[in-house]
Structure 1
Amino acid sequence: MSEPATALLERMFHAAVAAALPAHCMAPHLPPPPKGRTIVIGAGKAAAAMASVVEAAWPADRPLTGLVVTRYGHGVDHLARIEVVEASHPVPDDAGQRAAARMLAMVQGLTADDLVLCLMSGGASALLALPAPGIDLAAKQSINRALLRSGAPIHDMNCVRKHLSAIKGGRLAAACAPARIITLMISDVPGDDPSVIGSGPTVPDASTRAEAAAILARYGIEPPAAVAAWLRRPEAETPKPGDPAFDRATSIMIATPWHALEAAAGVARAAGITPIILGDAIEGEANDVARVMAAMAHSSATHGQPATPPCVLISGGETTVTVRGNGRGGRNAEFLLGLAIALAGHPRIHAIACDTDGIDGTESNAGARLTPDTIARARAAGIDPAVALADNDGYTVFSRLGDLITTGPTRTNVNDFRAILIT
């Protein structure tokens, strides 16, 4: 292999991101203009980039208005017909609440001749924050923070979010009727379940308010009194499959984690490296996943299974971190630090772990890189890797080593990208 290992891994990551960029994957899925009006609404880290594609492709003589909300720093400033609002992620704020209320108002009074084009991508659940009746934003924020620290998987988090919302869990579709609704989705969830992406504002929800209450109990989260009271009310139930609200609703997946992993695998093959895609929906505690993948990498290096070197183990999905320390983390930094400890300086193994949205958790980096001497360099710098891991302080470790990967906002999101190269 003539190319440096770290350079190859970074090229693979950038190929994965490029495969999910709205500019590369969205245009073929745009519908023709309807007889009536077209209202564009949307939310997520890719929402502004998706809106840009719509506006560029839409005929100038056909009506087009809209509003999308994205994370702070993920917007674009060149749109003329679709407004872009920025709001907070992963904990919602008032800007997201106001945007959600405006979207709900925009789709009132539509006719069967009108089209609602809904653009959904990862991050929408926090960005599209409109609390259910009787619940204020502070209560939703407290629940959100508790869920983020609990290590709950995204399916559990979004089940709760749907049942505490006036817009998610299919409620937006009900407000759009009788207009036609087409939802274009970029998936950031394991399994690509449309009802989980952005907490499914335009798709049916099979989960229940009882499940939402049980999830809070499972993670030891004591809800504010208003939340507990709401979850006991029948009105907290979301529209279910078969509800007439969805008779004219269509959902289209335009980019998924699997598409991104396949693009990265193509880069590896072209470099003469055998890619093994372990899966696009891997969940679990970041450190637990790291130990399992370290064992697989050792097996390849020692026994040639699951592949003979040179090979690369590629995976996607969304790990979680149960926060017990006070460090600066990010689930990809946590994964890589656990992986480095488990690999114990293996001389032929390099790795990368990054979030495809360019933001690892709440930090400014996408992720980091691991080299065979990561642990040795950390100790030479006075860092005890095990202590740092216990403090959820992976960001600090890789920052001090100069091994953070910083891309800035990518304006897409197909979840985490991990690649472990065995030479």
Structure 2
Amino acid sequence: MTEHDIKDQSLATGGRFRIDWAEQEMPVLRAIRERFEKEKPLKGLRVSACLHVTTETANLMRTLQAGGADVVLVASNPLSTQDDVAASLVVHDEIPVYAIKGEDDETYYKHLSAAIDHKPQITMDDGADLVSTIHKSRREALETIIGGTEETTTGVIRLKAMAKDGALEFPVIAVNDSDTKHLFDNRYGTGQSTIDGIVRATNILLAGRTLVVGGYGWCSRGIANRASGMGANVIVTEVNPMRALEAVMDGYRVMPMTEAAKVGDIFVTATGDIHVLDTHHFEVMKPGAIVANSGHFNVEINLKGLRKISDGDPKLVRPFVEEYSINGRPVYVLGEGRLINLAAAEGHPASVMDMSFANQALGAEFMMLNAETLKNQVYTIPADVDMEIARLKLEAMGVGIDKLTEEQETYLNQWQEGT
């Protein structure tokens, strides 16, 4: 049996059904897998992936394996693992998986160590915990690594900080910065799945409620848009004047969090920064305020500070809903402050992850072909690869587009002809 640390192998059959269901919605990744099976561009490549263990990720792992890669998968978040998916990958695909939904921090880092013990040549991260651990405490692993890929905004922020400080020891592809990732996954995927997680956890009606979104990056844009579409009154908080101005022009109220905290019914953070919701915000919230996070790490909500000002230990009043009491006034935290779309729901729909994971698969191939010429910096997947993923997605959706005529191409590539 393949080495692993998962909850229950008997869940494998149900996991396979769900993985196959997701695959139907992932035609771009399927096309890449068909090519990989023929060409084996990743033959012999050891890949350690630290990603959310979901049905969509399973299809990425199968694609890398089809390309000849030797893959190990660990969870990038303690609450995001789908245990039946982990079981299916171990039992049916013989892919080593180290992930258990609800694992404690000690187990989480033990699993990260298992990924590093694989002696990867390429790392595949969602939040940069794997890369960070290698640089901090497992530097012997740097001997074999040629490069990596990073899936999410939070991870890219960390990696760019490392590169700026001269601490990054190998090149990394910022998958998150591809247009076919952040314009679609972050906006439409996060928008829908975040609302899905909040509603599944609470079963509340959004219409007529005031929902506060922390930040107005692509993820927050999607959350604000979907919440507004369901009848919520949306407030946006921002530190960036340009994004704040855009939120105003998009029709949302914009104000500091200190003001929004007094009037919001539901709060969602999605910034990638720490303590977006802090103790002084909790102290002025309405009784029954609901707090959730859709940024990668639970640090966006100051949970330690919340515990300190609470009357006692929180009570679990529903699955993924903890009630804190501040002077007798309840405040509800969803999913332990972790990614609510994966803690309480199933994450992004497969059709949008199709493009994100197409970027991951092609990013690994690009890194294998070009690692020797790349510096220890953060790179974006080439624009032509990004454009090809968009073309394949449109084709799979049955959508046709125009093509420039020779006359139009000539006009766009000259300067002499004016009005």
TM norm structure 1: 0.42
TM norm structure 2: 0.42
Name whichever structure is richer in helix by fraction.
2
